[in-house]
Amino acid sequence: MSTARIGTTRRGKPIDVWRWIGRIFLVAILLYTAVPMAWMLLTSIKSGFAAMQFPPQWLPKEPTLASYEKLLDPSNSVGQDFLRFFWNSLFVASMTTVLAVAVAVPAAYAFSRFDFPGRKFLFFAVLLRNMFPAVIFLVPLFILMRLLGLVNTHGSLVLTYLTFGLPLAIWLLKGFYDNIPYQLEQAARIDGATRFQAFVLIVMPLSAPGIIATAIYSFIGAWNEYIFAYTFLNKNEQLTLPVGIQRFFSENTTDFPGLMAASFMMSVPVVVLFLLLQRYFVRALTEGAVKH
């Protein structure tokens, strides 16, 4: 297949049009994702008056860290609430991630390695939930959590996030296990290892990228979720960050620097986590989607 080439470079080499189109597209995507983060950061270091100016003041003339100091100072009510919301979100997201990995790993391994009656039906039944938007489960889940006595508890969020996160986590890991040769486990069994030992010592290290990708997906989903957290929690001490941030809105005015500072600090853990582990996430998606 020929590649579209128009013109030549200074060294006489032909110009690859599609490669340049791809580069322009990637730059556009980068700007689309980076500009909001940059605007949040710039607004967060402005004063309240500068943040309300129109036309907007792109670069703050007198930058200040007062909003961050206010958020991180436990001696004032705003700082106390923000730190409480932050730790609540961290607890819920961490518990969801640990339980999602603990359930998805053996479930995906069973779907990949064991042949039992109804295996395909059960696997696609697990994925059936993803065919419907999450909002249609809002009322039934609230009624269920009320019957279980879990309203205004973090347990309701953890169970809900597991319900919506496990199908994709199992599907992702199953595709990854399908690409690990079963002969490696057989060789370990021949050498005297049990099935569990072969799984822990052979399969688990090879599936580390898939497990890490599952953990990233579960953590980000639980960290950013708003609708269920807003529905299940109404006590101030139980709120998570996505719900707690709305406290910066009031009837008469809005603390835009404080709101942007809180939003920026909420985005930082997810961005850092993804940047540190992105190679594992991409590897899991590519290896899990292509059967060798």
Domain extents in the chain: 5-44, 75-289
Give the 3-state secondary structure of residue 13: coil
Q: Which amino acid is at 234?
A: N
CATH superfamily of 75-289: MetI-like (1.10.3720.10)
This prediction has a pTM of 0.79
Residue 6 binned pLDDT confidence (cut-offs 50, 70, 90):
low
Mean per-residue pLDDT for 128-157? 86
Mean pLDDT of the chain: 81
The secondary element (H helix, E strand) that includes residue 7 is strand 5-8
Tell me the pLDDT tens digit for each residue of 7-19: 555 555 666 778 8
What pLDDT was estimated at residue 15? Answer: 63
Higher pLDDT, 86 or 284: 86
pLDDT at 100 over 80: yes
Tell me the pLDDT tens digit for each residue of 52-91: 777 777 787 888 888 888 888 888 888 888 889 999 999 9
* Nearest C-alpha neighbor of 114 from the set 199, 197, 204, 206: 199
Residue 250 binned pLDDT confidence (cut-offs 50, 70, 90):
low
Residues whose CB is less than 8 angstroms from the CB of residue 126 and which lie 6 or more positions away in sequence, other chains included: 166, 167, 170, 171
Mean per-residue pLDDT for 109-126? 81
Look-up: residue for tokens 């039944």?
A: 125
Higher pLDDT, 222 or 236: 222
pLDDT at 264 over 90: no
What pLDDT was estimated at residue 292? Answer: 45
Instruction: Please name the residue ranges forming H helices in 114-240.
Output: 119-127, 138-148, 154-178, 182-190, 195-198, 204-206, 208-224, 227-232
Q: Answer whether 90's CB lies under 8 Å from 207's CB.
A: no
pLDDT at 290 over 70: no
pLDDT at 196 over 50: yes
Q: How far apart are CA 18 and CA 137, in angstroms?
A: 44
Residue 249 binned pLDDT confidence (cut-offs 50, 70, 90):
low
Tell me the pLDDT tens digit for each residue of 265-274: 888 888 888 7
Residue 97 binned pLDDT confidence (cut-offs 50, 70, 90):
very high
What pLDDT was estimated at residue 43? Answer: 85
Highest mean pLDDT among 34-38, 92-96, 148-152, 227-231: 92-96
The secondary element (H helix, E strand) that includes residue 105 is helix 77-113
* Nearest C-alpha neighbor of 229 from the set 134, 147, 114, 148: 134
Q: How far apart are CA 17 and CA 22, in angstroms?
A: 9
